[in-house]
Every structure is written in structure tokens, then in C-alpha cells.
Chains A and B, each alone.
Chain A
Amino acid sequence: MQGISELIKILLIISVYIFIFIIFKYLYLDVKLMRNLRYDKYPYLKLLNRKSDISFKVEETYNIYKSMKIGRATHNDIVIKNDFIDKYHAEIKIEEEKYFVNTYANTSLMINGKVIKGERELKNNDILQIGTIKFVFIREIGE
């Protein structure tokens, strides 16, 4: 009887440690995931503004893994709730491994300081300005 309860106690302590280990593993995966977000294999838009200057919600990076729409409305893939941005402002398209930015009828945006209407190809390190928000487009070549 003595032996059994001793054994159960040891099993119990082991099970508590297994629990801690599992939780720890989850947290480890969490950290790993956080670190990998920015260095994904997809090209991405990186925010250039200081985040403290912005009073609305913008992510630091947006990975471009499909054609994506930018705008104020929640149906867009990249939602930026700023008054200087139209409900449906622009679209980033992927065609034959090339990236294009396309504005809608009455919107415009700036690439490297020039006002753009209609469609244009995006290259690595192009600076994309939508309203007051600036992004840099980064596409690592060779991947």
C-alpha cells in the first residue's frame, strides 16, 4: 500500500512536469513563429512610418502571397482605416511572377515620389505611398 501511493505520487509529479513541458513547447512554437513572420519567403510591404505617429491600425508588414486589395473597407485584404484612403483604393496583382500595383478609377498613389494612376510594375525597394502611409516593397530575388 505504501509503495503504491509512493509510486502514484511520483507519477503525479511527472505528469505535472509533462504538462509544463507541453505548455513550454507551445510557447516555444509561438516565439519561433513570431520571429519568422517578417522573413517569410513571400515579398512583403514594410511600414516606413513610425508606428507611434499613426493613430489607426496598421501592421508592420504585409506579406503579398496573392493578389491583394488595399482600402478602408473591411473586405479588403489590407485594411487601413484612414480618411485619406479610399474604401477600395488600390490592388496589388501577381502576374507571371511579376508584381503590379493598380489603382481604381478615382484614386491615386505615389511610387518613389511620383503620382501613379492605373497600373505599374512594382520592383524591389519601391516606396509606395498611400495617403500619408509609406511602405517599402521588398522582394528578395533568387528565392
Chain B
Amino acid sequence: MTHRRRMRRAALALAVAVLAGLPGTLAAQEPMQPAEPDPDSTLTDPRAAALDAEAADIAAQLRCPVCSGQSVLESNSDIAQQMQEVIRERLGEGQSERQILAYFRGSYGDWIILTPRPTGISLLVYVLPALALLGGIVWVIVAVRRWSAPPSAPGSGGTEASDSRADSDTVSDDLSAEDEAWLRQSIGGS
């Protein structure tokens, strides 16, 4: 009984570790934070600073047309600099972020937006990881149940044991004695 409990605890710890690691991975996929606004233009006028910050925020959402995988904000290419200029100009004219993004989409297509919109085939980008995660969780649960089932000794009593035996006749029954010994040793059971 103790080794079973220990195995359960180990499996639980594993699951917690996996889930705890998740927010980090998700955060890594967030678009780049806008860099500090250009100091030259912000020395005197706080409104210019606000405009620069807003322009940087928009530029970070746009893909640089001549570099692979960089945003307009990150890129030093002429065209990216000129696009930043266009953003500032349009903000100065009182256009909203949405209007400016729509302008760039109108000339470059959805391609220009770094974060894919959740429609059409791009929707897979959002749905597939969630499905994979769900499948992984189900798999872990099933696997843990099988591992923590008692060895195939008939009549070892306990309702829990007979429950898990019911759905384990495919895998745990044909787990060889060798495999099982290894598994137990690696988890730390005696």
C-alpha cells in the first residue's frame, strides 16, 4: 500500500510541475513588449512621449516586411523606420490604433499582423495546443491510474483495485515483470 501512495504522490508532483511550467511557456509567446520610447523626442513634451509609446505599441504588432520574424519596432531596416514614421504621423492626425492597423492590413494583408487572427486556418494555432494539452492531461491520468494499480495478483481485494483492473487489462497485464520492476525502482517504491 505504501508504495502505491508514494507513486501517486510522485505522479501528482509531476502533474503540478507540468502545470506550473505552463504560464511561463504561454508568456513566452506573447508579442514583444514595446521598447523605451526614443529619448530625443521625449525630452521636453510629455504628449510626444505618450505618442511615441503608442506608436511603439502599434509597431510591435506589425511584421517588418523585409526581415523574417521581426516586428516593425525591433527592426532597423529603412522600411520599418519609415513605417514607424507613418504610424506616428497617423496618430498625430488623431487616428486610432484600430484604424492604423486596418490601414496596414489594407496594403499588406493580414500577413502584416504578427499575432494571427483566430479565424480560418489560423484558428488551429489557438485550438491545437489546447487540445494537445487536454489530451496530455487525459493521458497522464490514465497512465497514473494504470501505474498505481496493484500488480496482477488475482483477488488482492479492495474495490479500488478491482476498478482499476477493469480498464487495465490491455496495458498493465502485458507489462513485463522486468518493466514493472524498473518502473517501481525509478519511482522509488520498494
Partners in one complex: no
Q: Chain A: residues with CB nearer than 8 A to chain B? A: none
Q: Chain B: residues with CB nearer than 8 A to chain A? A: none
